[in-house]
Chain A
């Protein structure tokens, strides 16, 4: 078997996926299993005065109605959780903080009974003043969503910097150079503000967990991107040794970040703990829209530039609305904070990035993590600045673009930089610099725009991998990257197969169980192909060496003369003298041989000045757009839609193409119409009729992309790269076409028309 690296190999689980035979978490059934349904607050901020469960308990099949009283006066477990700050309860104690906050859980023999009883739980509230906007929430007199205090936070929250006395649960700072000097040196200083709304993840599979206790062990079968985070959290909450917590993660039907952190898991485990039976907790489709969304943001940018186009200084103030609970908000504030400078050389930078509590549904990880918000700001700003100094936007970017050996705003020295190549390819895709032929319809105007991105990958993190050959000839891959549909198992099997010379389709994936699987940080920031891939490559090299050494002894040849191919160890040049891999193991008197490797990317930044290594390497890309704007309606059609993604090396061209299509389409949807609508904190479009995602008919026929590769380079993740830059590239093209600059996503036809007509 020759290596499949760089081919268009189909997904190892493709057939199962399209024929619907994958056992998703939502399909799991256990004997005696109960169903758990949440009862949610209709108020954005209120005190609970009474919970009456009497009617609900009378519903046939109801086993238990869980309220905070069930967690009081006991020391077996702690009902508090949160990705960074432990600020969320399984059910509210006395206060609800958003429309959708969980006040009770109904556990019943059937899902229908649980649903019916949930409607009958009668809760009385006293409303409190609420706050919904992250900037307003920073005011001294704004209602406090949580009472954070130094005493409560203590030392346990490493690197978290709440701004006590405000709703900011984290304040990330980046400080580089001298701002006063920068402004003095600048010929032009421009200030602009940009905003982005919340957006929903919309995976096909809703949130679901089955949990049960057995002999002091806890089993959590759940669709989640962070199995080991979950293990740690559940062990802490239920006071169990980590080795007794089995987080088992089946294949998922999409996630895009929604299945990161505790979602249905805590409720399912609590219900199992209180009833002594297996429990399935489901958050149905409409509940996903109020469980976790993308952080809305306000981004204020001030930039100084010289007449010749040299960037001198940049000051950014970001308010990420993290909603009623911090979730990953502090991480978002940090990653967006250092990401907000963009792929440019700017000697003086000053960033204040806040994650701010409000009385809206919580916001968390979302494909394009933290960067969609700041790239919207920085790539619009680059075009606005270019206009101020009268320079071509591509030339202006090229003049300032960061490259190898340059120091980023964090102080780290950049390597493997290809921003210029990406930008050039994006500009060429729309024939930048050549005359643009007018549209045949006089009321339709054409324009072109580009945008470039820099996005970090989680640093520092660790991933382990193990590869095993058994005496009966099975090859088993042990790793914990979550398969969310992105093709992780396929590319990892491809990478693991190289040293063994086997068909990746013949590699069995052991599945994720935190008590057995090698460690993995989590499936996030497009890191798994790079991180787990590296560990598995090391593991398979070690295994191959082991097999060769044993085979050399058994076959009485020199190990250096042996190769591994098609499931055999064979003497190079003498294919008849070969031995099946399993036979080598068997003849060595072992049940199996294995290889193991662990890979850690080093780095990290200080939350106080943003200095350090923010990302062990950076995701890079660019987008080229040509629009046709109907000046009578404001409707925008894409005539060219080109993505450029730097990949280092492409492991699988098929799945890479599909991932890039996916991220471009998600970028398209979130540019034009994907936005959570809120009215006094209540989501008014929590369904797929009112919250629209693109259908296949919406995908522009012109959509195309390049995957940039460099001989010998490291693999770079590519799953998210395009999402954040579709918006600014489209917006720059619209400005080029009709002179309208929208600063608040999404780009609706109405906003464009208002701009055109001066309304």
Chain B
């Protein structure tokens, strides 16, 4: 591993100042579960690492009526999975954090970090995308919000600029009739990354009619895959078996999956179909 300078800013402005000054020379480091690997492999050789560990105010989880859930960038996946606030308002998000890798990784990895590294084979990003979450990006010149589905644009690629820092993730408030599910499908060990991860969020009213459906499929392409025109087929209808099949088929047909050690493109296509179907059936689909 090449030498680098280790910076420990105490406040967000201090961190932003360093990030702004060092630009491409520096990398922000949160949990480091991903960054440490690429540093060791020599794929990245920044001259400075800006640690966010000592900054107050990045570890909060709170629910703000009218806005939604606000999760600080440095909240660990363990803290997220165990947070009573997240469990109360978005239990499927807590679950998506709980099934990541193993306890050692979850203790270290952070919510902000797993969005910024934009690894395709990760669990939480598709859930954040399906929930319509936004990231808050701060820099010395101000702050902006970007929807997660627009934030992750490629394999390990986001729209964050040098000098910017992800400080918070906002999951917008939703109707009480909404519920969600995350299905992680692994082809190897329980500690493996997903072959396919399906995040599905449905708003189903008392009459069993679907008022909104969002499905993001993770780990099958460079970015979480949302196929809006297929998901909206459900609006105003009952999620019955033929409709579920139509949506599952539509998702499988619309996504061109990648191949990796966890499954070929052909296999992933089949698994998208099966797991979208299973997710929707769990979400109160009627058979």
Contacts and interface: CB of A to CB of B under 8 A. Distances in A.
Contacts of A177: none
B84 interface: no
Interface string B85-110: 00000000000000000100000000
Interface string B185-200: 1011111110000000
Contacts of B274: 632-633
A209 to B, nearest CB: 23
Interface stretch (A95-103, A270-278, A497-505, A690-698): A690-698
Nearest to B274: A632
Nearest to B275: A633
Given A633-B271, A750-B267, A673 B185 contact: no
A753 B270 contact: yes
Contacts of B190: 695, 697-698
A562 to B, nearest CB: 57
Contacts of B185: 633
Nearest to B196: A633
Nearest to B260: A690
Interface string A644-673: 000000000000000000000000000011
Contact of B189 (A673, A684, A687): A673
A523 B37 CA distance: 35
B132 interface: no
Which of B37, B193, B261 has the largest number of chain A CB atoms within 10 A? Answer: B261
B160 interface: no
B263 interface: yes
Contact of A673 (B188, B264, B271): B188
B266 interface: yes
Nearest to B278: A632
Contacts of A119: 42
Interface in A684-736: 684-685, 687, 689-690, 692-695, 697-698
Interface string B113-140: 0000000000000000000000000000
A692 B263 contact: no
Contacts of B42: 119
A695 B191 contact: yes
A698 B1 CA distance: 33
B187 A690 contact: no
Interface string B252-287: 000000000101101100110010000000000000
Contact of A750 (B2, B102, B264): B264
Nearest to B277: A632
Nearest to A112: B1
Nearest to B102: A695
B187 A673 contact: yes
Contacts of A689: 37, 193
A695 B266 contact: no
B146 to A, nearest CB: 28
B185 to A, nearest CB: 7
B266 A698 contact: no
A677 B1 contact: no
Contacts of A690: 261
Given A633-B271, A759-B266, A115 B187 contact: no
A750 B187 CA distance: 8
Nearest to A684: B261
Contacts of B102: 695
Contacts of B1: 112, 115
Interface string A738-759: 0000000000111001100101
A685 B267 contact: no
Contacts of A115: 1
Interface residues of B, number: 21
B187 A697 contact: no
Interface in B178-219: 185, 187-193
Residue picked from B188, B191, B261, most chain A C-beta under 10 Å: B188
A685 B2 CA distance: 23
Contacts, number: 50
A126 to B, nearest CB: 25
Contacts of A633: 185, 270-271, 274
B190 to A, nearest CB: 4
- Of B42, B185, B187, B264, most buried by chain A (CB within 10 Å of CB) is B187
A613 B177 CA distance: 75
B270 A697 contact: no
A531 to B, nearest CB: 36
Interface in B24-43: 37, 42
B130 to A, nearest CB: 21
B187 A635 contact: yes
A685 B261 contact: yes
B84 to A, nearest CB: 25
A754 B189 CA distance: 20
A749 B274 CA distance: 13
Interface string A103-121: 0000000001001100100
Which one of A632, A677, A750 has the greatest number of beta carbons of chain B within 10 Å?
A750
B261 A677 contact: yes
Given A673-B188, A698-B189, A750 B261 contact: no
Given A635-B187, A673-B187, A750 B263 contact: yes
A692 B188 contact: yes
Contacts of A698: 189-190
Nearest to A630: B274
A694 B271 contact: no
Nearest to B42: A119
B191 A697 contact: yes
Contact of A692 (B2, B192, B264, B271): B192
B187 A748 contact: yes
Given A685-B261, A692-B192, A750-B264, A116 B2 contact: yes
Contacts of B2: 116
A632 B248 CA distance: 13
Which among B37, B192, B267 has the highest number of chain A CB atoms within 10 Å?
Answer: B267
A550 B264 CA distance: 75
Contacts of B191: 692, 695, 697
Nearest to B192: A692
Nearest to B266: A759
Contacts of A695: 102, 189-191
A672 B188 CA distance: 7
Contacts of A112: 1
Nearest to B3: A116
Interface string A507-527: 000000000000000000000
Contacts of B263: 748-750
A677 B260 CA distance: 11
Contacts of B189: 673, 692-695, 697-698
A693 B190 CA distance: 10
Nearest to B189: A692
Contacts of B271: 633
A691 to B, nearest CB: 9
Given A633-B271, A692-B192, A749 B187 contact: yes
A287 to B, nearest CB: 13
Contacts of A685: 261
A697 B42 CA distance: 33
Contacts of B37: 687, 689
A750 B268 CA distance: 9
Contacts of A757: 270
7 contacts: A672-B188, A684-B261, A698-B189, A750-B267, A753-B267, A754-B267, A759-B266
- 9 interchain residue pairs of minimum CB distance: A697-B190, A673-B188, A750-B267, A692-B189, A692-B188, A695-B191, A632-B274, A749-B187, A698-B189
Interface of B: 1-2, 37, 42, 102, 185, 187-193, 261, 263-264, 266-267, 270-271, 274
Given A635-B187, A754-B267, A759-B266, 8 more contacts: A112-B1, A673-B187, A689-B37, A697-B189, A698-B189, A748-B187, A749-B267, A757-B270
